Amino acid sequence: MTADEILEIIKNKKPKLVYISGKTSTGKSTFSKNLKDLYGYSIVDLGEVVFKSVIEVFSSDPSETFITVYRDTEPKEYVDTFIKATRDAILSKLNFSPVVVEGAIAKSRIINEIFSGELKNFMFIYFHPVNHDKYAQRIKQRFIDGAENNTTDLPKLFWFFIDQSDLEKFIKTKILSKELNGAIDQYADISMEESKERLKHFQKNFSEINIIEI
């Protein structure tokens, strides 16, 4: 399905609670903003929840904390704190408007914990990259826009593919070199495979997922 088709479904069905998942640079944040602007949804950004409820509270390393929380690893205290903070954020906003929750949780258990009890009725949307060139271009644009000021919000794995000297040259010249293009293309391939496996995992645990292919 396309993003526009899902927007039309939401317009007609008016779900009170929507969850948007997917890998980096697939369009989750843009879609959330569209729901806010078009239909009055309040946004719960899970990245912000992680920062405020876990990283700031425990003074933990940001990149490691996101892996812990989204992938359901140790320390469990981080994960439990995140789940409670997310539920509290959703419930507080639901009193005034429909809510869209946006973030790249990788494990079904956490989603089930968040969307349990009075939050069990939610619409699940997954953004899945299937076109390599289109997806790689999205990542490249995010890199270009934020590399100089370290505001790309690209995940830790992405930076394993980027050579520091190539990054420094880009910041000076603003030219995306052959090496950087190759590194980003390589990351895009891996991210697409991870997305495929993550979607399979979700489909085993959730009966209805609305998939938007990118």
> Residue 156 has what pLDDT?
86
> Residue 206 has what pLDDT?
96
Do 77 and 137 belong together in one domain?
A: no
Burial (CB < 10 A; 0-12, 13-18, 19+), residue 3, is middle
The pTM score is: 0.94
Helix (H, G, I), strand (E, B) or coil at 60: coil
Do 164 and 207 belong together in one domain?
A: no
**Alpha helices for the chain (secondary structure H):** 3-13, 28-39, 46-50, 56-58, 62-71, 76-94, 108-114, 132-146, 156-160, 164-173, 178-205
Do 117 and 12 belong together in one domain?
A: yes
Do 123 and 150 belong together in one domain?
A: no
CATH number of the domain encompassing residue 71: 3.40.50.300
Do 16 and 98 belong together in one domain?
A: yes
Angle at 157 between CA 153 and CA 160, to 5 degrees: 110
Domain extent for 147 = 133-190
> Residue 151 has what pLDDT?
75
- Domain total of the chain: 2
Per-residue confidence of the chain (214 residues) as pLDDT tens digits? 899 999 999 999 999 999 999 999 999 999 999 999 999 999 999 999 999 999 999 999 988 999 999 999 999 999 999 999 999 999 999 999 999 999 999 999 999 999 999 999 999 999 999 999 999 999 999 999 988 887 778 888 899 999 999 999 999 999 999 999 999 999 999 999 999 999 999 999 999 999 999 9
Do 126 and 203 touch, CB atoms closer than 8 A? no
Do 22 and 84 belong together in one domain?
A: yes
Do 65 and 168 belong together in one domain?
A: no
Do 63 and 124 belong together in one domain?
A: yes
* 123-155: pLDDT as tens digits: 999 999 999 999 999 999 999 998 888 777 888
Do 168 and 79 belong together in one domain?
A: no
